[in-house]
Structure 1
């Protein structure tokens, strides 16, 4: 069992850290919002007063933070953990992941980038899909910890590789959400009963995890967040930035990024990303009551 520091106890991070405690690891958790740290302590973890306090003596440091600047801001604290393995599970720019890995090498800290897919339920169930970038030996060292958190764990390449695959994941998810929103809006405008329509669509080639998980929320306008519009808006910015850096045009991704930006501009940033359907319904002139 490992001594683990877990920094970032949000919607995803808290259940992930709790699963590590339940697996028998010694986990010290820290979050900028003290209430999250207290909630972690109530479920068997050790509450740390600061990030630096959390990483003191840790063999493994896991960060689950909102964006690239957050990871960069915490790096000085994490890199005090000489000889530790830093598993960054945030979704950040691939360029940031590579820069953090380089800083880690200079400081004697091994770094892998290991962003996840599967949403809050996947974090709770320990069934996340984890795409891992870094040196092969470091990825293997991280695997016993990652096995607690996910069921699909794949080494996809060197530092930054995990984040590059995550950008692909996020553009596919956002694009599919956009198409599901358009399909439901079309069906609704034609007076079709949405529940059986989704049932038959799910059984054919149009079926997908996104359709199964997000269509009910769109039908019922229940946008309790499992992944917020604000975060997907951020991720699509990373997608387009990475595409620009690589000289790759992504016209469909650019369109869905604009729709996600519209959802955010309309005040839906704290809602689940399935709230993208509200933008499509508004464009169609449908009553959203």
Structure 2
């Protein structure tokens, strides 16, 4: 297996790294906070101490970074990509991904966007849902690597297609969680037993698995140990609104949800699981 560079070893990035190492991939890793690489180093990864030139000899460079601008900055620091393929797996805007593809080409590299849906457990088990965008030839070339992380990586179309799909899905996460929270609030306020309500919801066409996945957190107000934080959900929803507006899509109905998520800033909810939206629909947010 060729050498792979992994840039960004947060919750998801670390899990992706563990999966690659478990499957015998030679891995070089970098994070702005080097301490976050320790787990992967103990499993046999090599630390990238200097980004400049770190892509030399690497078949691919996977990035799992906060957003498009950060990804562009970190990839630019690599310099010559030595014909390797840059594979960003984080969420970014459609226009940002297309611009990054041009940047990567200028750095003598190939580009394949590959945002994923799933969290730490799915990454470790190799069951992420992966969408890719770019040249079909590059998709075929990278398939052996991608299949380590996702059983069925999907080619969505040219660059920007996968970014669009990921933004659309993350908007659904925000909207579904919000609407479910509102429903629970009314159920609770009415005195109706929540489980009685769930027994009707589960067999209906309205049911989504996230309802049961997030129910205990919402009822207990325990948003600790998140796989995806409220802050990241807000960031992605704002990015969706920006890109949708550029495409002449009416996003007025989403602005109330953006405003609601803005209320989490400066509170303990921001770093908690995104199901903390349920705390926001209570009508007041305690600062902490």
Could you say which structure has the higher helix fraction? 1
Spell out, residue by residue over 1:44-87, the C-alpha distance to the aligned partner (whole angstroms, 9 max, x if none). Answer: 32222133364232111000000122111112234422110111
TM-score, normalised via structure 2 length: 0.92
Aligned residue number for residue 178 of structure 1 = 178
Cα pair 1:8 1:31 within 8 Å, conserved: yes
Corresponding residue for 1:59? 59
SS at match of 1:12: helix
SS in 2 for 1:28: strand
Q: Are 2:277 and 1:276 equivalent residues in the alignment?
A: yes
Which deviates the most, 84-93 or 71-80?
71-80
Asked if 1 retains the 8 angstrom alpha-carbon contact of 2:131 and 2:155, the reply is: yes
1:197 alignment counterpart = 197
CA RMSD after TM alignment: 1.9
- Once the two structures are superposed, the pairs formed by residues 1-289 of structure 1 within 5 Å of their partners are 1-52=1-52, 54-224=54-224, 225-264=226-265, 266-282=267-283
Note if contact 1:171-1:253 (Cα within 8 Å) is conserved in structure 2: no
What are structure 2's unaligned runs of at least 5 residues? Answer: none
| Misfit runs of 4+, over 6 Å | none
Q: 2:81 aligns to what SS in structure 1?
A: coil
Aligned residues: 285
The 3-state SS of whatever aligns with 1:179 is helix
Contact 1:177 1:274 in 2 (8 A): yes
Partner deviation per Cα, 1:27-52 (whole Å, 9 max, x = no partner) = 11111112111121112322221333
Structure 1 residues not aligned, in runs of 5+: none
Given that residues 175 and 252 in structure 1 are in contact (C-alpha distance below 8 angstroms), is that contact kept between their aligned partners in structure 2?
Answer: no
Which secondary structure state, in structure 2, belongs to the residue aligned with residue 14 of structure 1? helix
> How many Å separate the matches in 1 of 2:264 and 2:41?
36
